[in-house]
């Protein structure tokens, strides 16, 4: 039985006790899957499992607070669920986690680039077939094969958790561990290589095209303030309506700082960005900092307290300045 069929069987069994089960279904074209909310048995057959399930369904969980729901997760998504449980933003008794081994998802932007290189438009994609190491996209009657390693999302190239950290129903064989590809953190490496003024120019260059749509925030499973986000509040008035790099960058700083010690690097902020701004680099850098300072990784242990919500009388790695 395939992973997908096994998942469907388990969901059908559990569905009568659940408000809904969140997963993925076929989207508006062959290249895109979209989130699926399974409310009845007929919906279960729409479920998809595979390389096109790019979204993180954990983002919807806090909006179902108080209701018992199921969620289908990849390994990386399960970390977001764990982090939400850690912070008591959702209740363990009210969430049923379904999962299976994940062999990685594609980065649609990379697929689009590959198709463009072959003279094809991603909008014409008719069929997508993924078998192990190769993705074959048929567009305008022409099939283009691309190695999975070249179109996989960056996070998949250095994935530490191909299997869910926490699951109530884990089906099929676990997926094998990934050997971290050296190029996976190229964005951080590129920033590290720059001087401090160059980084200022870098963010000036990128944030200039931000349209302040807040897609990065809305796609983030850890951004739970929703309508109370300080980016749009007038009291306190953190950000003005002014269309300046300062205001746009300040929002990214707000987002990153509010995720310090909480971000599981699912990469949804950057994937959702319609302007292709490398906003994940800020969070990656913060996660690295948190790891260096507190030897902590978010979303792996339900019982762990996030590092900025606790302290030690004598910090191990903080060397204060002597004046």
Partner 1 sequence: MPVLTGKELRIVGFLCNWCSYGGADTAGVGRFNQPTDLRIIRVPCSGRIDPLFIAKTLINGADGVLVSGCHPRDCHYAEGNFYARRRLEVLKRFLPILGIDPARFDYTWVSASEGQRWQKVVTVFTEQIHALGPATRHENVSPELLAKVASAIQGGNRVAA
Least CB distance to partner 1 at residue 238 (A): 7
Which 3 state secondary structure label does DSSP give 76? helix
- Rg over alpha carbons for the chain, rounded to the nearest Å, is 21
CB of 203 to partner 1, least distance (A): 6
User: Which of 19, 87, 187, 301 is in the footprint of partner 1 by CB under 8 A?
Assistant: 187
Residue 186 binds partner 1, judged by CB under 8 A: yes
The tokens describing 311, both together, are 């302290």
Q: Of the candidates 16, 17, 40, 311, which one interacts with partner 1 according to CB under 8 A?
A: 311
> CB of 55 within 8 A of CB of 32?
no
Least distance to partner 1 from the beta carbon of 112, Å?
A: 10
Q: Of 227 and 242, which has the nearer Cβ to partner 1?
A: 242
**Pair 206, 198: CB distance under 8 Å:** no
C-beta closer to partner 1: residue 67 or 312:
312
CA distance 181 to 159: 9
Beta strands at 134-139 and 142-147: parallel, antiparallel or unpaired: antiparallel
Residue 242 binds partner 1 (CB under 8 A)? no
Q: Which of 79, 206, 217, 262 binds partner 1 (CB under 8 A)?
A: 206
CA distance 313 to 188: 32
Binding string, residues 279-308; x marks residues near partner 1 by CB under 8 A? --xx--xx--xx-xxx------------xx
User: Beta-carbon neighbour count of residue 97 at 10 Å?
Assistant: 23
228 part of the interface to partner 1, by CB under 8 A: no
Report if residue 190 touches partner 1, rule: CB under 8 A: yes
Residue partners of 261: CB distance under 8 A and separation at least 6:
290, 294, 296, 298, 306, 307, 308, 309
| Rounded distance between C-alpha atoms, residue 59 and residue 164, angstroms | 16
Nearer to partner 1, 67 or 204 (CB): 204
Return the residue of 32, 110, 158, 291 that touches partner 1, per CB under 8 A: 110
**Alpha carbons 22 and 38: distance in angstroms, whole number:** 6
Binding site for partner 1 (CB under 8 A): 109-110, 113, 183, 186-187, 189-191, 194, 196-207, 209, 238, 244-246, 249-250, 253-254, 256-257, 260-261, 275-278, 281-282, 285-286, 289-290, 292-294, 307-308, 311-313, 315, 318, 320-321, 323
């Amino acid at each position: 039985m395939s992973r997908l069929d096994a998942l469907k069987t388990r969901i059908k069994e559990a569905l009568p006790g659940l408000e809904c089960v969140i997963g993925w279904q076929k989207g508006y074209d062959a290249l895109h899957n979209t989130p699926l909310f399974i409310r009845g048995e007929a919906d279960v057959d729409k479920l998809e499992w595979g390389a096109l399930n790019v979204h993180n369904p954990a983002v919807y969980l806090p909006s179902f607070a108080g209701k018992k729901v199921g969620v289908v997760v990849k390994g990386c998504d399960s970390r977001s669920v764990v982090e939400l449980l850690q912070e008591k933003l959702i209740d363990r008794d009210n969430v049923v986690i379904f999962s299976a081994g994940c062999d990685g998802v594609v980065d649609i932007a990379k697929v689009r680039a590959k198709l463009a290189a072959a003279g094809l438009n991603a909008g014409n994609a008719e069929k997508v077939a993924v078998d192990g190491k190769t993705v074959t996209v048929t567009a305008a009657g022409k099939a283009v094969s691309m190695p999975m390693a070249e179109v996989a999302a960056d996070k998949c190239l250095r994935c530490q958790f191909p299997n869910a950290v926490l699951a109530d129903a884990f089906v099929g064989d676990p997926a094998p561990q990934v050997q971290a590809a050296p190029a996976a953190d190229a964005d951080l490496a590129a920033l590290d290589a720059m001087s401090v003024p160059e980084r200022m120019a870098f963010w000036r260059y990128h944030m200039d095209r931000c349209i302040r749509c807040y897609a990065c925030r809305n796609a983030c499973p850890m951004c739970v303030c929703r309508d109370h986000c300080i980016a749009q509040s007038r009291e306190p008035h953190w950000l003005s309506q002014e269309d300046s790099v300062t205001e746009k960058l300040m929002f990214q700083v707000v987002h990153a700082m509010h995720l310090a010690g909480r971000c599981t690097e699912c990469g949804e902020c950057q994937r959702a960005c319609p302007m292709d701004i490398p906003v994940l680099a800020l969070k990656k850098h913060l996660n690295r900092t948190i790891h260096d300072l507190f030897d902590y990784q978010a979303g792996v242990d339900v019982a762990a307290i996030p590092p900025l919500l606790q302290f030690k009388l004598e910090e191990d790695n903080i060397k204060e300045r002597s004046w």
